[in-house]
Amino acid sequence: MHNEHDMPVLTPRDDAAHGPHGTDSTDCRGCGTCCRKGGPALHAQDLDLFRAGHLAPEHCLTLRAGELARDLDGELRPLERELVKLRPRQILRQSARGGDWSCLFLNQADNRCSIYAHRPSECRALLCRDTWAIRTLHAVDRVTRLDVLAAWAEGAAERVNLTGGCADPGVPWADILAAHEERCGYGVLAPVGAVGEALRRAAENIRARDPGMAHPAPLSGEPGDPATTDESAHAAATFLDAVRFDFAFRSIVRERAGAAMEELDFLLGRTLAATAVMYGVAVRMTPEGPELVVLPG
Ligand code: SF4
**Interhelix angle 145-154/173-184, nearest 10 degrees:** 160
What whole-number distance in Å separates Cα of residue 41 and Cα of residue 95?
22
What whole-number distance in Å separates Cα of residue 125 and Cα of residue 263?
27
Overall number of domains in the chain: 2
Residues 148 and 172 in one domain: no
Question: Is the beta carbon of 253 within 6 A of some atom in ligand 1?
Answer: no
Of residues 223, 213, 237, 193, the one with CA closest to residue 295? 213
pLDDT, position 139 = 80
Q: Which amino acid is at 114?
A: S
Cα-flanking dihedrals φ and ψ of residue 184, to 5°?
-120, 5
Mean residue pLDDT of the chain comes to 78
Q: How far is the CA of 109 from the centre of ligand 1 (A)?
A: 14
Residues 99 and 203 in one domain: no
Range(s) of the domain holding residue 138: 1-162
Residues 171 and 116 in one domain: no
pLDDT, position 121 = 93
pLDDT digits (tens, 9 = 90+) for 20-66: 233 344 567 778 888 888 889 999 999 999 999 999 999 999 999 98
Q: What percent of the chain has pLDDT over 90?
A: 32
Q: What percent of the chain has pLDDT over 70?
A: 79
Residues 198 and 51 in one domain: no
pLDDT digits (tens, 9 = 90+) for 47-57: 999 999 999 99
Question: Is the beta carbon of 38 within 6 A of some atom in ligand 1?
Answer: no
Contacts by 65-74, CB closer than 8 A, 24 or more apart: 65/185, 65/186, 65/187, 66/185, 66/186, 66/187, 66/189, 66/190, 67/186, 67/269, 67/270, 67/275, 67/278, 68/275, 68/278, 70/38, 72/131, 72/134, 72/135, 72/138
Q: Of 162, 178, 208, which marks where a domain is finished?
A: 162
Q: How far is the CA of 51 from the centre of ligand 1 (A)?
A: 19
- Residue whose Cα lies nearest atom 5 of ligand 1: it is 35
Residues 74 and 194 in one domain: no
Question: Is the beta carbon of 103 within 6 A of some atom in ligand 1?
Answer: yes
- 71 pLDDT tier (thresholds 50, 70, 90): confident
Of residues 166, 41, 35, 193, the one with CA closest to residue 101? 35
Residues 220 and 246 in one domain: yes
pLDDT digits (tens, 9 = 90+) for 193-211: 466 777 777 777 777 777 7
